[in-house]
Amino acid sequence: MLKKRFVGVVTVRQGWAVQSFGYNRYLPLGKPECVVENLDRWGVDEIFIQEIDRSSYQLGPNISLINKIASRGLSTPLLYAGGITCEADAVAVVRSGVERVCVDSLLHDNPNELRNIANALGTQAVLASLPIAKDQNGNVGWYCYRTKRFVDPCQNVQSLIDDNMVSELIVIDKENEGKPNQFDFDLLPFVKEFNIPLILFGGL
């Protein structure tokens, strides 16, 4: 029987939980720890905390926020992304109370460092985030938020998957993120070739 998991996502920007619309427009929701507590009470299977501005400002992981959330006595496992640039960052995040880490910018900047992270934490604790969208010609590509350009992920990502360095992919429908019932399932053939469990996000 297919086992479905429901992952609650808390998007954090400038220290506040926000509702994001295509990662271009943001509606403040309140303190991240309060949103996380609500998701914990609602019984989601995992809570994904993604701080979307940490890498852009080269701030590193927000260990203070992680400690604040982890100290709430939650029963739901935590997944964290934001500012992780090296093995030391990932280890610090896990030591602060997070079960798994996710990377995005690192796949562009230094994918080989993900191997060190996987060796330190175990592959089961490492995920990769893959924002995808259709370009002006209707072709599906991997979208880089910092450069606002599409790049080809196949070589880097497939190599990491083949070497068992990543346990799951978080596939983000960049264009429909924040829109209800709008996930574009036509995007999936682009990532099915990776032959790895997928977590779908954006428009769901």
pLDDT in tens, 115-165: 999 999 999 999 999 998 887 888 888 888 777 787 765 567 888 888 989
Nearest of 41, 109, 51, 100 to residue 74 by alpha carbon: 41
Q: Where are the alpha helices (DSSP H) in the chain?
A: 32-42, 63-70, 87-95, 105-109, 113-121, 154-162, 189-192
Contact of 130 with 157, CB cutoff 8 Å: yes
Write phi, then psi, for 76 (nearest 5 degrees): -100, 135
Question: Per-residue pLDDT tens for 170-192?
Answer: 999 988 988 889 999 999 988 88
- How far apart, in whole angstroms, are the C-alpha atoms of residue 187 and residue 56? 26
Cβ count within 10 A of residue 149? 11
Task: Find tokens 């796949």 and name the residue.
Answer: 107
Nearest of 107, 112, 113, 152 to residue 129 by alpha carbon: 107
Contact of 144 with 123, CB cutoff 8 Å: no
Structural tokens at position 3: 């086992």
Question: Per-residue pLDDT tens for 48-99?
Answer: 999 999 988 889 999 999 999 999 999 999 999 999 999 999 999 999 999 9
Quote the radius of gyration of the chain (alpha carbons, Å): 16
Q: What is the pTM of this model?
A: 0.92
Structural tokens at position 109: 């900047």
Task: Find tokens 């271009």 and name the residue.
Answer: 24
On the CB side of 23, CA atoms within 13 Å amount to: 19
